[in-house]
Chain A
Amino acid sequence: MVQTVDHVALLPAYVAAGTALLALLLDLAAGRRGAVLGATALGAAATAVTAVVVGSGADRDTFCVPGTSACSYRVDDTGALVAVLFAGLTLAVLALSVPATRVAAVPPGEYAFLLACSMTGGVVLGYSRDLISLIVAVETLTLPLFVLVGLRRRTAASAEGAVTFFVVSVVATAVTLLGAALLYAVTGAVHFNALRTALAEQAQLRDVPLAAAAVVLVLVGLAFKVAAVPFHAWAPAAYDGAPLPVAAYLSTASKLGGVVAILYVAVAALRPWLDVAGPALAAFAVLTMTVGNLVALRQRRMVRLLAWSSVAQAGYIIAPLGAFAVASGRTDDALALAVAATVAYVVFYVLLELGAFGAVVALRRGDADGGEIEDYRGAARRHPWVGAAFVLALVGLAGLPPGLAGLFAKVVVVRSLLGGGAGWLAVVVALNAVVGLAYYVRVAGVLFAGPASAPAPAPAAAHAPAAASAVAPAPGSAAVPPSRPASATPVAPTPDTGLTQAPVPVSVSAPVSAAAGSAGRVAWPVAAALAAVTLAALIVGFAPQLVLDAAALALSR
């Protein structure tokens, strides 16, 4: 039996993989950073276009088991949406990578190649329709990131982050594979539709504890990818040690991959067993939100704060799926509402998170890491536009106007939870939003603060690419609070309370004083990417129906 392969359906994957090869070859042939990054960016754009074109036709299946409808690779609207999102994220992160690759420590060719490989994994993830393809795709998404996190070669923080990430990831993958294997053992199927049929029809499986264990194991392993508590411990170390654009990619694309994988597994494959999966998801959501927000309150380093905040945001993303824990949340209507809410929140979140990381990249020099929050004191007064974009992103992540994107994201989640009858979870989400505001507002305040009482060299007289005065939508721009009393912030770096590892990472290439790490001019690709992302966030903020319609596409399964 020769399986026919539909190459047209595979075009987006081919283009993505081709981009990776192109990056490597161009680096060997031409060796110029601009050419390599530019070509990879073009490749990412081409992937997105291909995905849209291929997806706009009829649905296509390939890699099907002959004689059945069990196919491993399916091109439909859902897959197209996911592929476009990954390609777009890769494009944005490439733009943000320009300052980092300028420094010789980060080799541009390998960097672009690895990023494009990761993008390929993400694109294939969107189209995969069986457990094994899904796991392979998730691994393809994650493996290059181990190296990317460790690419700041002269720093111990980078290496530590990479090793932590690698070890935890390997364990998580093993757990997921174990769960997938057990599911195959009890049901005899790996394809989602076959699995669903098997679980629905074989009621005797309910008496087999192994089946329930398998379901939970698969979800547990995938929860690692989204950095859900209690599998989140790798995130702060990895984000802080990685180059800033890689941290941005981790917090957006890697999380997107995890969410898509969980959605596919929970909703497509395990649909008849949501009463087992639901409580697990609800528990993840509550723990993740709460722990993420509470620990973020104590952070002193910018990227660690953003890492913990993205852990908490992962909790909000999974929260609609927590409605599956109650019977009223498992009806078809409630399920559709929950899935649409999750996808919509992910889209809103990705835009805002890119905005936040983009602003951090714009405010830091070269391959500097994120630095302490104190290093950003007064940054919004030196770079008004970047500061405004940063505040918009932070306020959006907190869920308040003018970050309407974030406000509507929270509204979507609360609406779906109450529609599914999980009001208690909606209250938990609401209370966590209040805790979250505390640290977002703290960072926004530091951005606008005047110089601290401690003597610091005057920051470089940088000029943002526009007029001096900031423009609304940022409220309270260019404020002048008095200098803080010197005893306000503790000077000693506080170790993360969430990690059990002892040593505090020592950053050699990141001096403490604000001036040394802060950016002078903002590189044009970074500025362009930040502007594009902020504009997109504003547009979807005023027209949230666009995102909701896109999320509805995700239900066309």
Chain B
Amino acid sequence: MTAALVAVLAIPALGAVLVAAMPAQADRAARMVGTFAAGAALLAALLLGLDRTAWTGPAAADPGTAGTQPGGAGGSPVQPWHELDLAWAPGLDLRFHLGVDGISYPLVVLTALLTLLCCGYTLWNVPAPGRGRLLVALLLVIEVGITGTFLALDLVLFFVFFEVVLLPMFAVIAVWGGPGRRHAARKFVLYTLFGSVLLLVGIFTVVAATGTADLVRLTADAGSGMSRTTQLLAFTLLAIGFAVKSPLWPLHTWLPDAHTEAPTVGSVVLAGVLLKMGTYGLIRVAVGVAPDGAERAAPTLGVLAVAAIIVGSLVCLAQTELKRLIAYSSVGHMGFVLLGIATLNATGLQAALIGNIAHGIITGLLFFLAGAIKDRAHTGDLVRLGGLRETAPGLAGVLGFAAIASLGLPGLAGFWGEAFAVVAAFRVGGPLWTVLGIVAALGGALTAAYFLRLLRKVTHGPAAPAVAGITAPRLAPAELVAWAPLVVLALVVGLLPALVIGMAADPVTALVTTLATGSR
């Protein structure tokens, strides 16, 4: 299955080169090749879940002796199911070290699925100004970057893949985006590069102090190679880098413009998986490598997360544009995920992991729907929309489903992340966290408020002129094919969360145990 590890990166990369090299006349054929490559990558991603290496023993073993072997050592919280470890540039502490475990597997599958859906969507609808094959090629390159980030088990390799997504995403927004795309793309790339370079400094703070960049080893050591000050410094730098990506309030200002101006498929990939690079990085890298720093910074992180929830919700209540509202809702949802991470207990981390997946599925669906509405009604302005269920009941129905899933109705995917982040906050105990839990719960109520407001404005009421004039009210087959997996997954993950977080139970418990026993 190491072949699957390489395949899940190599297939999209080769696909991107092939698709971009095809001539302009064969644009549709090129897009089909790209979709096929994305499908093959999804297959490889699913194959990664088979034939897993068994979990060896609890991680409560001595952190000092664990992780001395180069990979998959018993006792390290990071025990990949499949692993690949090749030397690349020893002078940079860079090894081509890939691995997948219970924490990263759902994210890899989500990335592959969303990329496939986006490439398939592009087969049917290419945004202005055309040249769909280049858009598909860029989406595949972004997939390589994101999947590589989730699979990397070497800090420097993680950074390299982290950087790979910046320019392709910039190009997607700058070329195929809406009216304000140039400004949004510039803001996106400069802001996220700022986060990335701080991440680089943080990574090498860790490497300089401990002498290794191997995540398996570093997580096993649980920060014992670094002094407390160094750990806090490293965690702060890493956390700022990931906070820009997640995004965490107040470093979120790049997100609304980028999401609003990006084309539909760009927004789906951006909201669905790009943001998850930040939260995954926080769990895997920042908390795993500098747990003591994480504990000291946890209250700050918690407060900022709850601020994100409240600010995101309040701003959403005032929004008048559809895509911008969904963009700010991402800020709020990521706030719940970050709250879960900040609690640093098993419930919180599990909530964060399932919140990640749920947000990816549901917000991906929401952006598809927003794109569909804007294409049909030629406006995203909530004032000018209304009565969608009169004219396009299918579309209104799916929008209603997605909005309700996003606001956290029990039985649908969004519930678990939100509810159990609050539960985890209460579980930490103490005045601060209890207050944070209460405020976060209030934020959940606000989330419901703005989504119901959205539904009231868009789907209910008399049909506005823009909506009444819709010429293609029925859902196209391509749209049904693209959205059906997301709708089904939102329901299935909502009813059976163990499908997603069952596999992460062991790594998360091991991580939390090292947090508890870790370097003192």
Contact = CB atoms under 8 A, between A and B. Distances in A.
Contacts of B174: 445, 476, 479, 481
23 contacts: A340-B91, A401-B160, A401-B166, A401-B167, A407-B160, A408-B92, A411-B156, A411-B200, A427-B198, A430-B200, A433-B197, A434-B193, A441-B189, A469-B22, A470-B20, A471-B21, A472-B141, A476-B171, A476-B174, A481-B174, A545-B92, A548-B91, A548-B92
B93 interface: yes
Contacts of A419: 204, 208
A431 B194 contact: yes
Interface string B152-174: 00001001100110111011101
A382 to B, nearest CB: 15
Given A418-B207, A544-B89, A476 B175 contact: yes
B204 A478 contact: no
B409 to A, nearest CB: 40
A534 interface: no
The 3 closest A-B pairs by CB, nearest first: A476-B171, A430-B197, A548-B91
Given A414-B201, A433-B197, A434-B190, A471 B17 contact: yes
A255 interface: no
B168 to A, nearest CB: 5
Contact of A478 (B134, B159, B182, B186): B134
B19 to A, nearest CB: 9
Nearest to A552: B91
Contact of A469 (B21, B194, B201): B21
A475 B207 contact: no
Contacts of B88: 545
B201 A438 contact: no
Given A419-B208, A430-B201, A480-B130, A437 B141 contact: no
B129 A480 contact: yes
A549 B90 CA distance: 10
B283 interface: no
B139 to A, nearest CB: 11
Interface in B187-221: 189-190, 193-194, 197-198, 200-201, 204-205, 207-208
A477 interface: yes
A423 B168 CA distance: 30
Nearest to B156: A411
B23 interface: yes
Interface residues of B, number: 51
Given A415-B208, A445-B174, A472-B20, A437 B189 contact: yes
B92 A544 contact: yes
Interface in A411-468: 411-412, 414-415, 418-419, 423, 426-427, 430-431, 433-434, 437-438, 441, 445, 467-468
Given A431-B197, A468-B23, A479-B174, A395 B204 contact: no
Contacts of B204: 411, 414-415, 418-419, 426
Interface string A476-500: 1111110000000000000000000
A400 interface: yes
B206 to A, nearest CB: 9
B453 interface: no
Query: Interface of chain B, helix or strand or loop or mixed?
Result: helix
Given A411-B204, A544-B92, 14 more contacts: A400-B193, A401-B160, A412-B92, A437-B193, A469-B21, A469-B23, A471-B20, A472-B20, A479-B134, A480-B175, A543-B89, A544-B94, A545-B88, A548-B89
B307 interface: no
Contacts of A472: 16-17, 20-21, 137, 141
B24 interface: yes
B337 to A, nearest CB: 26
Contact of B131 (A340, A480, A543, A548): A480
B134 A423 contact: no
B224 to A, nearest CB: 19
A410 interface: yes
Contacts of A470: 20
B138 interface: yes
Contacts, number: 136
A475 B89 contact: no
Contacts of B168: 475-476
Nearest to A421: B208
Contacts of B197: 430-431, 433-434
A410 B200 contact: yes
A213 B182 CA distance: 51
Contacts of B171: 475-476, 479
Interface in A380-425: 395, 400-402, 404, 407-408, 410-412, 414-415, 418-419, 423
Given A407-B160, A412-B92, A471-B21, A400 B167 contact: yes
A408 B134 contact: no
A411 B92 contact: yes
A358 B201 CA distance: 33
A479 B135 CA distance: 10
Interface of A: 340, 344, 395, 400-402, 404, 407-408, 410-412, 414-415, 418-419, 423, 426-427, 430-431, 433-434, 437-438, 441, 445, 467-472, 475-481, 543-545, 548-549, 552
A415 B90 CA distance: 12
A438 B190 CA distance: 7
B90 A545 contact: yes
B186 A438 contact: yes
Nearest to B194: A434
Contacts of B138: 475-476
Contact of B24 (A400, A469, A476): A469
Contacts of B208: 415, 418-419
Nearest to A424: B201
A467 B24 CA distance: 11
A247 B24 CA distance: 37
Contact of A415 (B23, B145, B170, B207): B207
B23 A400 contact: no
B205 A433 contact: no
Given A415-B207, A423-B205, A431-B194, A475 B91 contact: no
Contacts of A476: 134, 138, 167-168, 170-172, 174-175
Contacts of B94: 411, 544
B81 to A, nearest CB: 27
Contact of A545 (B91, B130, B194): B91
B200 A414 contact: yes
Q: Which one of B24, B167, B186 has the highest number of Cβ atoms from chain A below 10 Å of its Cβ?
A: B167
A476 B175 CA distance: 8
Contacts of A467: 23
A400 B175 CA distance: 19
Q: Which one of B134, B160, B207 has the highest number of Cβ atoms from chain A below 10 Å of its Cβ?
A: B134
Nearest to A444: B167
A109 to B, nearest CB: 44
B24 A544 contact: no
A544 B93 CA distance: 11
Contacts of B90: 545
Nearest to A448: B175
Nearest to A432: B197
A415 B186 CA distance: 28
Nearest to B208: A418
B87 to A, nearest CB: 8
Interface string B117-158: 000000000000111001001100100010000000000100
Contacts of A404: 160
Contacts of B22: 469
A408 to B, nearest CB: 6
Contacts of A468: 23-24
A282 to B, nearest CB: 17
A549 B156 CA distance: 19
Nearest to A403: B167
Nearest to A408: B92
Interface in B15-62: 16-17, 20-24
B229 to A, nearest CB: 12
Contacts of A400: 163, 166-167, 193
